[in-house]
């Protein structure tokens, strides 16, 4: 059973209302897009069945409309237990990021919503298969960046050790 986009929006609003100052409508839309994409890319299928469209400013889950209500107005979301577990981990990951980092990740030129907009025009539906492919590419990019950073750190440590005259790193 998948959860409804509206319930996921409520869950995300509960969390990010506190994590980000001035949490807004497009912030929520970007987070819905990211949650859906990572859920699909992780092999769990769609998180919610409502479509996401390629709006000119951001990916848009059209079933989630209007301004964000204040926290007191938010009902408790009705989520499948597995979806709630996924969203807990998602909120931990993105809760430490700022809105600009999230915007940069969503606005990549090779993102599913940009590609859907390019091919289908304003408001085109973003196919889940395209989301899966582009989010898996983001994982590969992230892995490659981490590999390069680790290699740089190892090089720095070896240089320090050689400079410190550690026998194991002396040139022959």
> pLDDT by residue (tens digit) across 55-98?
999 999 999 876 555 555 567 888 999 999 999 999 999 988 88
Q: Note whether residue 105 is domain-resident.
A: yes
Cα gap 138→34, rounded to integer Å: 11
Residue range(s) defining the domain that contains residue 104: 5-144
pLDDT band at residue 152 under the 50/70/90 scheme: confident
Read off the tokens for 143. Answer: 């892995």
- Name the region of 121 (left: φ>0; alpha: ψ -120 to 50; beta: rest): left
State yes or no: pLDDT of 15 exceeds 70: yes
Per the structure, the count of domains in the chain is 1
State yes or no: pLDDT of 166 exceeds 80: no
pLDDT of residue 66: 67
**Mean pLDDT over each residue of the chain, to the nearest integer:** 85
Q: Note whether residue 23 is domain-resident.
A: yes
Cα gap 125→47, rounded to integer Å: 16
Instruction: List the alpha helices (DSSP H) in the chain.
Output: 5-19, 25-41, 81-95, 99-106, 112-120, 128-163
Q: Note whether residue 81 is domain-resident.
A: yes
């Amino acid at each position: 059973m998948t959860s409804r986009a509206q319930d996921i929006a409520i869950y995300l609003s509960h969390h990010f209302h506190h994590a980000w100052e001035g949490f807004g409508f497009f912030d929520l839309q970007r987070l819905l897009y990211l949650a859906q994409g990572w859920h699909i890319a992780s092999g769990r299928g769609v998180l919610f069945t409502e479509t996401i469209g390629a709006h000119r400013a951001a990916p848009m889950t059209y079933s989630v409309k209007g301004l964000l209500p204040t926290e007191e107005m938010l009902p408790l979301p009705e989520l499948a237990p597995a979806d709630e577990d996924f969203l807990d981990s998602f909120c931990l990951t993105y809760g430490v990021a700022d809105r600009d980092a999230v915007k940069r990740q969503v606005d990549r030129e090779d993102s599913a919503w940009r590609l859907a907009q390019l091919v289908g025009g304003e408001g085109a539906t973003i196919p889940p298969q395209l989301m899966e492919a582009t989010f898996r590419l983001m994982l590969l990019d992230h892995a490659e960046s981490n590999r390069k950073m680790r290699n740089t750190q190892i090089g720095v440590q070896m240089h320090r050790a050689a400079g410190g005259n550690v026998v194991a790193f002396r040139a022959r």
